[in-house]
Structure 1
């Protein structure tokens, strides 16, 4: 009789131990499969080139910024790791506060209002027609802290170079980091 009770007790202890060990792993797996709710603000151009100073905004570059924003949303949504939050409900506030790169945290306020857990601000800095830098800053809405920075330099002011730079940032930086982002 004692041996049956001992076996039952050992079986119960083994089951409790297995559940105790499995619970954190299951929670981590669940967190990894739950998409991060993110608002992606339109890419912004900082043109510090001589051409930009003399000639101002260019239609082709504005169109590239729009394409980068749309492609970033599409690529992140397709990954399954992100749920893209529509900016439309706060569009008037966004238009009033833009650019996001210098609004002292207003991007976080807008993201919070939309129910996002992260906000992304993309910036293309044009040094010249040959040298451009592309950066995406990911901030946690709850803390306001930057959780990831993805940067690259591209050569050439063309549709192809801008798209190649974005693909690199998404594949090798944003999606290569663990869910929730990590500085890189």
Structure 2
């Protein structure tokens, strides 16, 4: 009975993939090309991914899967929001039950939104899609946003993937 209890109490295996960022498009972008995140924004994207892993893993609902072995493959298909479901294949390869992708949409220099989607790997279906508005392009505002999203949406009452 002990083995059964341990399995029943174990969280679902969740692969948290790197967070992508999208930018507003302008006419100028057609000539100069869109620019990626600034070094500070890239550092914040990495911080958001690490914080999501920490918060979701500490709750017990999820067991965070190590995706280090998939780094090259993830880099090749990014951004995830344009890869047409490749996250499911990568999640299967990582032996995850669920995969999480995230997108920070830079609306302006001071307004961003963080959107996270959780997909059931076996079914290939979206099970959760949540977002938060981040007001301010600073470490503090990004961390406030990801913590609020985790507490109130991803781990909030009634959420059971």
User: What TM-score, normalized to structure 2?
Assistant: 0.86
Shift of 1:49: 6.6
Structure 2 counterpart of 1:48, from 7, 19, 24: 24
Structure 2 counterpart of 1:171, from 134, 141, 151: 151
**1:65 matched to 2:18:** no
Q: Is the 2:10–2:63 contact (alpha carbons within 8 Å) kept by the matching residues of 1?
A: no
Please list every run of 5 or more consecutive structure 2 residues that lacks an aligned counterpart in the other structure: none
* Matched residue, 2:96: 116
- Mapped partners of 1:164, 1:73: distance in 2: 15
**1:79 matched to 2:59:** yes
* Counterparts in 2 of 1:154 and 1:49: CA distance versus 1, 3 Å: farther
- Mapped partners of 1:90, 1:61: distance in 2: 23
Please say which structure displays the higher CA radius of gyration.
1
Task: Name the structure with the higher strand share.
Answer: 2
Task: Name the structure with the higher helix share.
Answer: 1
- Does 1 or 2 have the higher relative contact order (CA < 8 Å, sep 6+)? 2
SS in 1 for 2:159: coil
**1:34 matched to 2:10:** yes
Shift of 1:97: 1.2
Shift of 1:178: 2.9
* Matched residue, 1:4: none
* Counterparts in 2 of 1:62 and 1:154: CA distance versus 1, 3 Å: same
SS in 2 for 1:111: helix
SS in 2 for 1:95: helix
Which segments of structure 1 move beyond 4 Å, counting only runs of 4 or more?
Answer: none
- Mapped partners of 1:130, 1:115: distance in 2: 38
User: What TM-score, normalized to structure 1?
Assistant: 0.76
